[in-house]
A and B are shown apart, each in its own frame.
Chain A
Amino acid sequence: MENFRTLKFLDFFKPIFEKMGVDYHVMRKILQVKMMMDRRRVPTIFNQNRNKQKKESNQFFKSLWLYAFFGLSIIPFMVMGENYIFQMSIAYSIVMFIVMTSMISDFSSVLLDLRDKNILGTKPIHTRTISAAKIVHVSIYLFFITASLIGIPAVIALIKQGFPFFLLFILGILFLNLFILVFTALLYLAILKFFDGERLKDIINYVQIILSISIIVGYQLAFRSFEFMDTINNYELTSQWWQLLIPPLWFGAPFELVLHGNWNVFIVILTVLSLVIPIAFLLLYIKLMPAFERNLIKLTQQQVGNKKERKNKNNWFVNLICQTKEEKCFYRFANTMMKNEREFKLKVYPSLGFSLIFPFIMFFNELRVSTFTELVASKWFLSIYFTFLMIPTIIMMLRYSGKYKGAWIYKTTPIQDQAAIYKGTLKAFLVKLFLPIFLIVGVIFTLIFKVQVIPHLIIALLSAFLFTIISFMVMSKSLPFSQSIKMVQQQGESGKIFLLFIPNAILFGLHYVSTLVSYGIYVYMIVLLVVNYFLWGNKRIFNPTKSLQRT
């Protein structure tokens, strides 16, 4: 076992821990093992390009570069202008958002590790030592994340705004981190108190998804943050009571108080909150710690009986879109798998997010050069084709699952019609994942472009169905949810996703051309209907390739 540099640094504080009654030697041992396990894990922030997992280097430390990059986005808020409370509140909100989401997505496992109880709890170690190890463990990571996040901005602030500002900033960050750490723990405590562990895992999963999406959006914002500065400099605080509930404002207030000498009551209250709340939460947490540990047990328990029995009320819908019994069966199966499997959701939902956002990013860019009326009259509704971006990705992902070992049921059950497996799954994907996104974009587009856009939306939807078939044909066929989700990078299918931009562009082009001819769109609509009818009805397309039948 190797000796981590961090731990060597920690050795300096040995006397302090020992004074608190912590068995330092054992705590260090636990931390060492914990850190070793951590480096074998990939943080969510790296989720986009997890490859070459075999090499054992600390993924976490590599991810710090990304944090440093995101940290750049707060620089403008710190150096430009004098409206401290607003600038700093925004800077702190960015820090808080990034730190809190990474905390929840990657370090929940530390706070919520049940194995600790069974493995460490049964050994001759005092509870105080175990708790200390837990807190130090999280704090170490929290330290690295924040340090890389604010490192560069802090240095720039020191040069530009002087030492008092710098000092306030660092102090603010310390209290903010304390707040985040304790707040997250209390949040879990509350969730565990009222719900069962499954719900908590769902919540953590959604936070991971949000983090993945915001990383991409963050890239965009990081470069544009300078543009917001004008608006911010002219903003004024209106002293509403509800503003007291916004944590970043608390941490922005001390700057106003100390550097501008603004002793306004409201500012003073905010400043006091920034000091008192983190400490109060900490005390509360220490007090509730035993309750927390007790409720942790719930993580393994499913609440029995209070889940509503769901009648299959959309049976008619399944009957409508699936013809055979087997197809219906796989439709339902894929439906529940996509809904319940967390690892699958983590991989797939971010791309749903992009599909939802991209059409709008496209025309917000357009809005900078043209007016809104011009936009409404234009053919920018065609940007809905950007929602198709998710289709190849997800069709590729459908074969993966964290629980891929369950796929033996495909082999041991007498499935007559292999085509039904794929057909049912693809339909479930379209209904469950694609349609909701398409509908949201569609409704907003109808509001913007008015009713005449509806035929175009129908064409786009038919094109999406066609594109789904095309993507499916291009990808190599593999039974749904039958391969390890860790294999995603090794299959060489990802290249095909880029290849599939071409048919997407062609469909887009055809639609555009059809708008140039009168009644062109209606003719095109009928053509698409017919093509779809034949392709979806063609069994050969869905039948598995020979190599698959052999295995």
Chain B
Amino acid sequence: MVQNEQPIISLKDLTISFDNKMILKAINLDVYKGQIIGYIGPNGAGKSTTVKIMLGLVEGYHGQVQIFGQDISNGNVDYKKRIGYVPETAELYDNLTASEYLTFVGELYGMDYEKVEEKAQKLMKIFGLEDVFHNRLSSFSKGMRQKVLIISSLLHNPDLLFLDEPLSGLDANSVIVVKEVLAQLAAQGKTIFYSSHIMEVVEKISNRIILLSNGNIVADGSFAELKEQNKEGTLEEIFNQLTGFNKHQAIAEEFVSIVQEV
């Protein structure tokens, strides 16, 4: 992919360690407008850390992080106005009602109260949640919370979306809706940074896949490109191959044999 425009995200030699352990080892990455990045990797590979660094949640990294062409270490938080974020753990202030929470988030992004409320209500309605708009989030099921989080990340019409397992807990119909929403948003020039463990979804949704293993980028390209390079049929198999994981059969055998000892 050759791009002439300026990258939306640009990481240069991004390195970070916690407790003397290197989590990210000099990552270089440019992400362009309209891309849907599938950001995958085994547990502990550093996926969430990368996202958190870009959101300014984690400090103390080395290297350069530029978002919308601005170095984020300069202390100016304005770039966050154009970012939407769905965190992995469904953390929200759950003793607020959906309406209160969503308007609050919208206002933090600098929107007007009336505007946000109207917008939030409309979006809730589309997700079939209009009846619980004024109920407390603590009474919501996992799927309902996830929908609220997705709405809260889109209220301010961001140009860049960070989604960490955004489909978890959603039923099959909602999954299709959200996937379609993402595709349409990308078509309109939004950039989406999507991390997940569910390879089937990543395979279908992303137009560029980045595989992180042990703090290094070990693969970068469209699904078709990855398939060509690795001669494997599914993303799951490519994933296993690239992360050097080939013992699944032996592990499963051992597991089952322990289960059978009653």
Contacts and interface: CB of A to CB of B under 8 A. Distances in A.
Contacts of A117: 57
A119 B91 contact: yes
A1 interface: yes
A36 B107 contact: no
Contact of A119 (B60, B105, B107): B105
A118 B100 CA distance: 18
Contact of A1 (B55, B60, B93, B100): B100
B110 to A, nearest CB: 7
Contacts of B136: 40
A26 interface: yes
17 contacts: A1-B103, A29-B107, A29-B108, A33-B93, A40-B136, A115-B92, A115-B93, A118-B89, A119-B91, A119-B105, A120-B108, A122-B55, A122-B83, A124-B80, A125-B80, A290-B59, A294-B59
A126 B109 CA distance: 12
Nearest to B107: A29
Interface in A22-36: 26, 29-30, 33, 36
Contacts, number: 64
B95 A123 contact: no
Per DSSP, chain A at the interface is: helix
A115 B77 CA distance: 19
Interface residues of A, number: 24
Interface residues of B, number: 29
B128 interface: no
A373 to B, nearest CB: 59
A151 interface: no
Main secondary structure of the interface of B (DSSP, over half): loop
A163 B215 CA distance: 66
B32 to A, nearest CB: 22
A52 B96 CA distance: 19
Contacts of B56: 121-122
Contact of A37 (B75, B91, B95, B105): B95
B34 interface: no
Interface string B111-139: 00000000000000000000000001000
B41 interface: no
Contacts of B78: 124
A295 to B, nearest CB: 12
B193 interface: no
B85 interface: yes
B81 A124 contact: yes
A124 B111 CA distance: 12
B110 A124 contact: yes
B61 interface: no
A33 B95 contact: no
Contacts of A123: 80, 105, 108-109
Contact of B87 (A29, A118, A124): A118
A121 B55 contact: yes
A389 to B, nearest CB: 34
Cβ-closest 8 pairs across A and B: A124-B80, A123-B108, A124-B81, A122-B85, A40-B95, A115-B91, A122-B55, A124-B77
- Most chain A C-beta atoms within 10 Å of own C-beta, residue among B81, B92, B93: B93
